[in-house]
């Protein structure tokens, strides 16, 4: 118990690393629950400050012959390709990848679609990669995506929105690990 208090005061008074701040937020969240929105906001922003994101070029964009243009556009945007592969997903693999959406009405259609043809999977590097890439690709629904973004240019529907982009540092690591072993990163 003494060690616990000692540790917690360390986190509170000397939050010298992001990890410590994250723990500090978790500690206060445990006390204040969901009403402690300040901690939640800090925690969320901390989770999105890494330099790695994961993307897939979706089957429809591949079928439409846009693979090369999308890769070129990603590089033009200052994202460094750390790993890249042409591959495909089985229905089961797509279900596993998108398991976070399994209660959503679009889950079955999305996983059918994602297993309908070849895809490109890639790990990308840039400062603040999650936010930078999500801004760069545009809104989930291509019809809401800002002009010039990848989804506005190459997306054809909310499902076939040209590319996937991770929504947090934690998910980027999980998604990258779904397709790539560490040996496949440069």
Q: Which residues bind ligand CMP (CB under 6 A)?
A: 101, 106, 110, 140, 158-159, 161, 164-165
Please provide the size of the chain in residues. Answer: 186
Pairwise CA distance, residues 97 & 70, whole Å: 22
154 class by beta-carbon count within 10 Å (0-12 exposed, 13-18 middle, 19+ buried): buried
Residue 101 annotated to the active site: no
Q: How far is the CB of 159 from ligand CMP (least distance, A)?
A: 4
CB-nearer residue toward ligand CMP: 85 or 101: 101
Place of tokens 């591949």: 62
Tokens of 126: 């840039």
Q: Please identify which of the residues 164, 166, 176, 179 carries the catalytic annotation.
A: 164
For residue 89, report the phi and psi dihedrals to the nearest 5 degrees: -115, 140
CB-nearer residue toward ligand CMP: 23 or 151: 151
Pairing of strands 52-57, 119-125: antiparallel
Q: How far is the CB of 116 from ligand CMP (least distance, A)?
A: 13
| Nearest Cα to Cα of residue 95 among 82, 85, 84, 104 | 104
Q: How far is the CB of 146 from ligand CMP (least distance, A)?
A: 16
Instruction: Give catalytic residue positions.
Output: 164
């Amino acid at each position: 118990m003494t060690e616990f208090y000692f540790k917690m005061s360390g986190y509170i008074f000397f939050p010298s690393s992001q990890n410590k701040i994250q723990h500090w937020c978790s500690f206060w969240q445990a006390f204040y629950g969901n009403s402690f929105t300040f901690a939640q906001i800090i925690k969320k922003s901390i989770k999105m400050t890494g330099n790695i994101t994961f993307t897939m070029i979706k089957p429809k964009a591949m079928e439409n012959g846009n693979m090369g243009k999308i890769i070129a556009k990603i590089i033009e945007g200052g994202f460094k390709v750390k790993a890249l592969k042409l591959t495909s997903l089985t229905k089961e693999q797509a279900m596993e990848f998108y398991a976070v959406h399994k209660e959503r009405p679009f889950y079955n259609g999305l996983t059918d679609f994602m297993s309908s043809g070849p895809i490109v999977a890639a790990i990308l590097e840039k400062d603040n990669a999650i936010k930078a890439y999500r801004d760069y690709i545009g809104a989930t629904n291509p019809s809401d995506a800002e002009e010039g973004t990848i989804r506005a240019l190459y997306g054809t529907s909310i499902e076939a929105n040209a590319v996937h982009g991770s929504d947090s540092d934690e998910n980027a690591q999980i998604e990258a690990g779904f397709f790539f072993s560490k040996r496949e990163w440069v």
